[in-house]
Amino acid sequence: MALPKRILKETERLIADPAPGISAAPHEDNLRYFDVTITGPQGSPFEGGIFKLELFLPTDYPMTPPKVRFLTKIYHPNIDKLGRICLDILKGE
């Protein structure tokens, strides 16, 4: 199955002009999977922290949001024990 042009364009833009403190790289064997690293912002309690995540773009993206999972252990009321984001708005409810 070919990758939609939208995902290719967004990936190119993400690599060419990354958001400050965030890096994302697609897997070579599946361009829908990304390895993401977020660094803690300066002056915040997270300064110096490095948070690793994985991101997957479902086949019906952008109509369905990406699936994100924290690989770095994190405590947050909206993150479950497996690192998944648990917000009803992202689950279509």
In which domain, by residue range, is 27 found? 5-91
Given this model, what pLDDT does residue 2 score? 74
Cα 14 to the chain's mean position, in Å?
Answer: 12
For residue 51, CA distances in Å to 3, 14, 33, 40, 75 come to 28, 18, 17, 8, 12
76 — pLDDT class (breaks 50, 70, 90): confident
- CATH classification at residue 64: 3.10.110.10
pLDDT over 80 at 88, yes or no: no
Active site residue 86: yes
pLDDT over 90 at 36, yes or no: yes
| Threshold 0.85, pTM exceeds | no
What's at 76, amino acid-wise? H
Q: How many CA atoms lie within 13 A of 58 on its CB side?
A: 11
Catalytic position from the list 8, 15, 74, 86: 86
Q: How many domains does the chain have?
A: 1
Between residues 76 and 87, the one the model is more confident about: 76
Average pLDDT, the chain: 90
Residue bearing tokens 């086949």: 59
